[in-house]
């Protein structure tokens, strides 16, 4: 059977939703609290690569199976058998997945219930929008195993929450785990949602994104992501150039005309670079 972005996969449940405009990815190892092993990371890489190339897909949600964990970390039983070279390759695979989440043109929403620890926290914060239920717990406890975060945590966490909180979480390990409200306060998550309302709120967010101009949303993701590593003057120049390109793409005409005519805009999805 030919594999598409919906599978078949052994460790993931992947489906197309919202008439093909969205994709849902579920990490499906609930008995192991969805701990990341090589197979999951390889399948995530393959699924996300396929989704990134699907022109019709505009939004992706990522979650863990069950209520206890988004991802409780990497699979320690598998990591214990690695040598130094194998550990580097495992880290590079995890980094490949997290970098893909940041660079793909779709908006990626992490939907976090329960534990998001270690590799789970790293996976979540590589996503564009991070929704946390009131049961969520975030941490980087690798130092308690004599390890460091390997999937981007030492680089991304400070960009999310600032240097003091990042060092506190990473260097004290289990001594600094954030609940959902704390994670919101420091800027790690986008929203905290009541667990019972999380599915409905996620659907509302997806629909809000799908109602916007597809090209405009893609441009915004890329420009905001680039702003983290781009000089302000260069970033402003890129923003002005892309702002002008909105007129060339045709979305701006439809969006403004619809606004003036007091009707919903009808956008045609086209993939291009910001």
Annotated catalytic sites, by residue?
122, 142
**Secondary-structure breakdown of the chain: helix, strand, coil percentages, each rounded to the nearest 5:** 50, 15, 30
Token pair, residue 241, equals 């150039």
Q: How far apart (Å, rounded) are the C-alpha atoms in residues 1 and 233?
A: 50
Task: Give the strands of the sheet with 69-71, arranged side by side.
Answer: 69-71, 115-117, 137-139, 178-179
Using alpha carbons only, give the angle 180, 75, 49 rounded to the nearest 5 degrees. 80
HSE-up (13 A, CA, CB side) for residue 260: 6
């Amino acid at each position: 059977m030919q594999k598409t972005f919906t599978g078949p996969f052994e460790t993931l449940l992947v489906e197309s939703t919202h008439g093909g405009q969205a994709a849902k990815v579920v990490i499906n190892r609930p008995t192991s609290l969805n701990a990341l092993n090589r197979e999951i990371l390889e399948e995530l890489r393959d699924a996300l690569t396929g989704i990134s190339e699907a022109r019709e897909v505009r939004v992706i949600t990522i979650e863990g199976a069950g209520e206890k964990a988004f991802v409780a970390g990497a699979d320690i039983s598998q990591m214990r058998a690695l040598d130094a070279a194998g550990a580097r390759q495992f880290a590079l695979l995890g980094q490949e997945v997290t970098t893909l989440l940041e660079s793909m043109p779709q908006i990626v929403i992490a939907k976090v219930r329960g534990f998001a620890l270690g590799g789970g926290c790293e996976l979540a914060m590589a996503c564009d929008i991070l929704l946390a239920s009131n049961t969520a717990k975030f941490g980087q406890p690798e130092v308690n195993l004599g390890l460091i975060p390997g999937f981007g945590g030492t680089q991304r966490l400070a960009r999310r929450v600032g240097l003091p909180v990042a060092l506190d979480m990473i260097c004290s390990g289990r001594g600094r785990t954030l609940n959902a409200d704390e994670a919101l306060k420091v800027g790690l998550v986008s929203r905290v949602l009541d667990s019972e309302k999380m599915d409905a709120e996620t659907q509302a967010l997806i629909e809000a994104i799908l109602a916007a101009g597809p090209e405009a949303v893609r441009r915004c993701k890329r420009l905001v992501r680039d702003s983290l590593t781009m000089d302000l003057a260069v970033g402003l120049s890129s923003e002005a150039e892309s702002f002008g390109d909105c007129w060339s793409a045709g979305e701006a005409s439809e969006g403004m005309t619809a606004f003036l005519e007091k009707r919903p805009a009808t956008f045609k999805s086209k993939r291009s670079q910001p």
